[in-house]
Structures are given as structure tokens and as C-alpha cells.
A = this chain, B = another copy of it.
Amino acid sequence: MAATETTVADACVAAKRAARELASVPTEAKNAALEATARLLEERADAILEANAGDLADERAASLTDALRDRLTLNPQRVAAMAEGVRVVSELPDPVGEELERRTLRSGIELRKVRVPLGVVAVVYEARPNVTVDCAALTLKSGNAIVLRGSSYAERSNGALAAVVREALAEAGLPEDAVTLLAGGGREQLGELATQEDAVDLLIPRGGEGLKAALKDVATVPVMYAAAGNCHVYVHAAADLEMARRIAVNAKVQRPGVCNAAETLLIDAAVAARFAPAVLADLAAAGVELVGDERARELAGGVEVGAASDADWDTEYLGLKMAVAVVDSVEEAIEHINRHGTGHSEAIVTADEEAAERFAAGVDAAAVYINASTRFTDGFEYGMGAEIGNSTQKLHARGPIGMRELTTFKYVARGTGQVRE
């Protein structure tokens, strides 16, 4: 009942078959399946929580850190939030069938470029059981089948949730195999999944660097990697310094464990003497451990700032720590960011339009902010409804991966007997 008991290859082939069917299903049928999922999540809340309690009581969960244990834990509010999330997805516009371009070729052929689903999307994830439902909803609405591979210690929770979605699919007359949770686990299974080239169109790893490294070695299917977010806030000479304080503190402190939080603060030398003591005091007061280059430490005005090592500029702390450097120009800031950044989210604070333009053009990142916090890089904030991850790749999808990013296109050409001369 819980996880589907088949081999990885069989599961992927079944998913591919389901994907072919799902590709041309009308929006209403997909929405009906999503509505049924939301309703069943509510109806089956007790069974889901029981499965989750089983996972939490299992010896495999005994070694989890408090943070991971919290991520694994479900409660009535979290189940209700999942159902609500599914309803939000059902209200989002269906990306499939969107006409991206249309033109008449010189041959007289009518060429249309039409958005179609990718096919089979595989998602490998850790801990949080809600990912099962969130990802299934996004892939289903975008006409894709999904193969899910969660953590073994979340097996019962994920199984109960996947069973709910499969039941909802059947209820709506859609193929159950559009959502498949792999049973078992282990590195071997990961390798098997990552090499199903004939069936899997995209693999998205949602997890730490270890997972990504393991995939890089073996994957033959296309993988969309979400690189770490080593994000910067650069306070320019012409910055509104009050605004700069708010943005720097928000980017670091509001939720330090996420990829769009800032890790390094760059302060222009022209304002460093005035600005550094204030912002560093703010950060220290918010519990942020500070390390800096020589100039930043000199200008700290009594705030304790440790010596930054070379490695600090390349570190995503994912916590209450920040590196601070003083730079002499927009160009130096750009150079620092392009050398140390991961291409995620970068901010400049300035009232100088030309500096803003130079920074936006020169920084090589998915998102560049002018006078706003880096924390806004997010599918929901961007009006994409929801996201399945965040890409720092340049190909296919950059930034939040929403439903559109789970699609491709096909050219449909209509002729009247045209042949090539």
C-alpha cells in the first residue's frame, strides 16, 4: 500500500506510460485530481499522522538531529497546510498548451511553438514529507508524471501521502502511475534512478551537497542542480544608509538557513567609516557572528569582528554568521561576487542609477536586486505560485523552478503538401 513495490526500472517505465496519457489530459481532470488530493489529505489526516508517528518512533529516526527531526514531524496544521498548498496549485493556470510563438514560414508552413510537459520528472529529497505532496501537485498540474525517492526514515509518512495522491488520481480517472514513490532506498537505488535515460526526462535533487556529488558521478539523465546560495549585499557609496541597514540585516537574519540568505556584506570604502559601525552593531545585536577583512575590522567601531580566512568568502554559512569586506568600487564588488558567488541572488543598495545598471549587468547571477533584500528569490514571491526548487544553472531554468520550468515545447508545423526544394 505505502510505497510501490517494483524495481526502479519498472516504476520509471510505468511512469512514462502514465506521462504519455497525462500529456493531453484536460485541465479540469488535473484539477479534479488535485481537489481530490486536498480532500483526501484532510479525510486521512489521522492515518497520515499515525504513519508519521511510526517513522518518528523508528530506530532509523533516533540518530536525526533536532532540526531534521522537526522537518520529519507532521501535525494537523502541517497536513492542513499541504492540502491548502495543493488547492493553490489547482488554481494556478495550466502551462500546457500555451502557444509560445506562431509564424508563417517562407515555405507557407504555419509553425507553432507549443508548451508541452517534460514527461517524467524524478525528485530525490530528504526528510520533509510535505515535499511528496508539493512536488506531486506541481508535476501533475504541469502534465508530468513524477517518480519520488524520499529518505528511508520517512518511508511510512511518504508512503501514506503518495497513496493519497494515487487514490485521488484514480478517483479523477487519471493513471495512478503518474505518481510513484520508490520503495527501499540506498545509494544503489539512486544510481539506478539516475540512469533511466529512456524514461526519466529530468531529475531534481533536493538535498545537500553530498547528494549532488553522488549524482554528478553517476547520472546519465538530465539533472537540474540547485547550487548553494553564497549571496552578497553590496552597499554602494550612494546608498541610502538606513535602507542599507534594513536590507543587510534582513538578508542575513530573517531566515538564515535558506539559500537566498546573504552570507557576505560588501561595503563601499566611501561610506565604510560611517556605515560599518552601525550595520555591524545591528548584526551583532541580532546574534550574528562577524568575520571581516582588515579594513572592515578597523572600521567596526568597537563591534567584535573576527579575521576572515580565504575560505570565508566562499562559504554558505546557512546560519547566523556573516563575512564583511570593504571594496573600492562597483567594479570591485562585481569582481568579488563573480569570483566567490554561486550565481543565486545578489543585491546592491544605491541611489545611483548608473551604478545600479552596471551592477545588474555585470553580476552573473539568477537574480540581481537593486534596493531590496536577496530573500525575495522564491517562486511564491515571484508570482509563480509555488516552486519545486531553485536553479543556479544557466540552461533551461534559472532561479525559481515553477510549473513552467517543468515543461518543454514542441514545434507543430501545418502545411499543405510542402516539400523542400
Question: A residues touching B (Cβ–Cβ < 8 Å)?
Answer: 20, 23-24, 103, 105-107, 109, 111, 118-119, 201-202, 216, 220, 222, 224, 240, 243, 246-247, 250-251, 254-255, 338, 356, 360-362, 364-373, 375-377, 381-383, 393-396, 398-399, 408-421
Find out whether the CB atom of A398 lies under 8 angstroms from the CB atom of B408: yes
In the complex, which of the residues B24, B103, B109, B375 contacts A372, with contact meaning CB atoms closer than 8 Å? B109
Can you name the residue of chain B whose Cβ is closest to the Cβ of A240?
B417
Residues of B within 8 A of A366 (CB): 410-411
Q: For A243, give its contact among B119, B250, B254, B417 (CB under 8 Å).
A: B417
Query: Which B residues are CB-close (under 8 A) to A107?
Result: 372, 376, 381
Indicate whether A103 sits within 8 Å of B383 (C-beta atoms), given known contacts A367-B413, A373-B418.
yes
CA distance A250 to B419 in the complex (A): 6
In the complex, the answer to whether B202 meets A371 with C-beta atoms within 8 Å is no
Distance A409 CA – B24 CA, assembled complex (angstroms): 29
Q: Determine whether the beta carbon of A24 is less than 8 Å from that of B419.
A: no
Pick the contact of A109: B106, B376, B395 (CB < 8 A). Answer: B376
Our pick among B367, B371, B375 for the contact of A411 (Cβ within 8 Å) is: B367
Are B376 and A420 in contact, with the CB atoms below 8 A? yes
What 8 pairs across the A-B complex have the smallest Cβ distances? Answer: A372-B415, A250-B419, A375-B420, A396-B396, A243-B417, A394-B408, A395-B396, A367-B411
Q: Measured between alpha carbons, how far is A351 from B361 in the docked complex, in Å? A: 51
Contact A417 B119 (CB under 8 A): no
- Sample (7) of A-B pairs whose CB atoms are under 8 Å apart: A111-B383, A251-B419, A365-B410, A368-B410, A368-B412, A368-B413, A394-B408
**B109 in contact with A364 (CB, 8 Å):** no
Tell me how many chains of this kind the complex includes.
2
Q: Give complex CA distance A414, B20 in Å.
A: 41
List chain B residues, Cβ under 8 A from A118.
Answer: 394-395
| A323, B83: Cα distance in complex, Å | 52
Distance in Å: Cβ of A59 to nearest Cβ of chain B: 38
Contacts of A418 in B (CB 8 A): 371-373, 376
Instruction: Tell me if B415 and A369 are in contact (CB < 8 A).
Output: yes
- Extra contacts, 14 of them, besides A371-B416, A398-B410 (Cβ < 8 A), are A20-B364, A103-B383, A109-B376, A243-B417, A246-B419, A356-B414, A365-B410, A369-B413, A370-B412, A371-B414, A372-B413, A372-B416, A373-B415, A395-B396
Chain B residue nearest in CB terms to A407: B394
Residue of B nearest to A242 (CB): B417
Min CB distance A204 to B, Å, is 12
Complex Cα distance, B103 from A121, in Å, reads: 29
Contact of A250 among B250, B394, B414, B420 (CB under 8 A): B420
Tell me whether A399 and B372 are in contact (CB under 8 A).
Answer: no
Contact A399 B420 (CB under 8 A): no
| Chain B residues in 8 Å Cβ range of A375 | 419-420
In the complex the two chains form, is A417's CB within 8 Å of B370's CB? no
Q: Which of chain B's residues has its CB closest to A343's CB?
A: B410
Complex Cα distance, B360 from A305, in Å, reads: 63
Chain B residues with Cβ below 8 Å from A105 are 376, 381-383
Min CB–CB distance A131 → chain B (angstroms)? 22
Q: What's the Cα separation between A338 and B419 when bound, in Å?
A: 24
Contact A417 B222 (CB under 8 A): no
CA distance A39 to B421 in the complex (A): 30
